[in-house]
Amino acid sequence: KSGNSVSSSIKIKICGLRSAEASIVASDAGADLLGFNFIEGVRRQIQLADALQILTDYREGINTSNRPGVVGLFRDQDVDEVNESARTLALDYLQLCGDEDAEYISKIELPVFKQLFVREGSTSSDVGSMVSPFLSAGNGIILDSFVKGSLGGSGKSFDWSNAEGVANREKVFLAGGLNPENVQSAIEQLSPWGVDVASGVETDGVKDPVRIRAFIEAARNA
């Protein structure tokens, strides 16, 4: 099935990175986007100074011509601070994971991915109505599963049928509980524009080079 242009061109985001080593592995394996989490109080949060060091080491140590975009994750943080962090770290994109509205997004200096949560019992038309205003405004989307008390990265999937006809729109990433074992079936069912993984490529809470490579290979071969 290698002739399937959908899977070979599918965008792959490895999220919640916390080391230069794992970032280099993801880049060498062909990831399109690398995500770093600056949300207060989440397990994968990294501080600005640490991220600066990680990204410096990563940019110096990268071995291939593949240069993934670097995404910073923020949630309802002061917009000036978010822009300042993005400049300091030379980020390419911002992923906004809270209640940021169009007015907030209009003040952001970089292209935005808006994380949206699919609640249980949503229909694909509910999900379509939720994403449409953001897509119309030119923002990308990260479709994640809604887990009470969790800010994403829960490792839980939502019912993929709820995203049929939505995940395949341009700039929509499917997230939530993806891993090397199930990403092919997700792609076969939804033909998403992109796939996004955090906990699915970890072992005991730490990014696992073997699982990162397996995920990217599985997504490319779907």
Average pLDDT over residues 49-53: 97
Q: Where does the pLDDT of residue 5 fall: very low under 50, low under 70, confident under 90, or very high at 90 and above? A: very low
Among 142, 140, 143, which Cα is nearest to 122's? Answer: 143
Whole-number Å distance between alpha carbons of 185 and 97: 26
pLDDT at residue 42 in the model: 87
pLDDT at residue 34 in the model: 98
Average pLDDT over residues 202-217: 97
What confidence tens digit (pLDDT) does each residue in 87-137 have? 999 999 999 999 999 999 999 999 999 999 999 889 999 999 999 999 999
Which residues are registered as beta bridge partners of 39? none
pLDDT at residue 50 in the model: 97
pLDDT at residue 14 in the model: 98
Q: Where does the pLDDT of residue 7 fall: very low under 50, low under 70, confident under 90, or very high at 90 and above? A: low
Average pLDDT over residues 159-177: 95
pLDDT at residue 153 in the model: 58
Task: Say if residue 163's pLDDT is above 90.
Answer: yes
What confidence tens digit (pLDDT) does each residue in 13-39 have? 999 999 999 999 999 999 999 999 999
pLDDT at residue 151 in the model: 61
Structure tokens at 172: 């929509």
Q: Which helix (H) or strand (E) holds 112?
A: strand 112-118
Eight-class DSSP state of 104: H
> Is 27 buried (19+), middle (13-18) or exposed (0-12) by CB count in 10 A?
buried
